[in-house]
Amino acid sequence: MISLPHISLATAAHARGIAEMSREYIEYGLGWSWTHARVLKAIQDDATNVAVIHERTAVVAFGIMRYGEERAHLVLLGVAAGHRKRGLGALLLAWLEKSAVTAGLERVQLEARADNPDAIAFYVEQGYGRAGTVPGYYRGAVDAVRLEKRLWVPAGAAP
């Protein structure tokens, strides 16, 4: 029987796994800023969703989205190396975007490492458009590409 991946909000027990995935897959070469303590704080923050897909006890994918007044910000998204290209990243991102729509937010913005063309291609595939470059965004060492997606258009607004 095929079982569909189950997405849930992270608990404190997931924080260490998420922090380690961030260090390995996203923050490589930059120093570790998304430590266990910082992830824990995000899990406890009312304006942030930390979502996970786990298999048995291991986190295989996670996403962190912060919900602001006007837009949502995708802070981090990562899928464990052996679980990529199975649709988990797209599924998790869609789940976080749906929460943004529920919160009445029209847009999601994110930054991706300019030296990570795979991630940029993934976001473009998910409907994000390039909205500029931010030189030295990551610790002054690596540029970011800013990407943005409009989730819905309010009635009467220009598309």
Ligand X SMILES: CC(C)(COP(=O)(O)OP(=O)(O)OC[C@H]1O[C@@H](n2cnc3c(N)ncnc32)[C@H](O)[C@@H]1OP(=O)(O)O)[C@@H](O)C(=O)NCCC(=O)NCCS
Residue position matching structure tokens 């052996």:
82
Instruction: Answer whether 96's CB lies under 8 Å from 51's CB.
Output: yes
Specify the residue, 19 or 156, whose C-beta has the smaller distance to ligand X: 19
Q: Tell me the closest approach of the beta carbon of residue 56 to ligand X, in angstroms.
A: 18
Per CB under 6 A, does 60 bind ligand X? no
Which residue shows structure tokens 């979502």?
A: 51
Q: Which is nearer to ligand X, 13 or 94 (CB)?
A: 94
The residue range among 10-18, 31-39, 45-53, 115-123 that interacts with ligand X, by the rule CB under 6 A, is 115-123
H/E stretch holding 142 reads strand 142-150
Please give the single-letter amino acid code of residue 117: P
Strand partners, 110: 74, 147
Residue 79 engages ligand X in binding (rule: CB under 6 A): yes
Which residue in the set 31, 125, 136, 139 belongs to the binding site for ligand X (CB under 6 A)?
125
Amino acid, single-letter form, for residue 80: A
Distance between CA atoms of 104 and 111, rounded to whole angstroms?
22
User: Judged by CB, which is closer to ligand X: 73, or 150?
Assistant: 73
Residues forming the site for ligand X (CB under 6 A): 25-26, 76-79, 84-90, 112, 116, 118-119, 121-122, 125
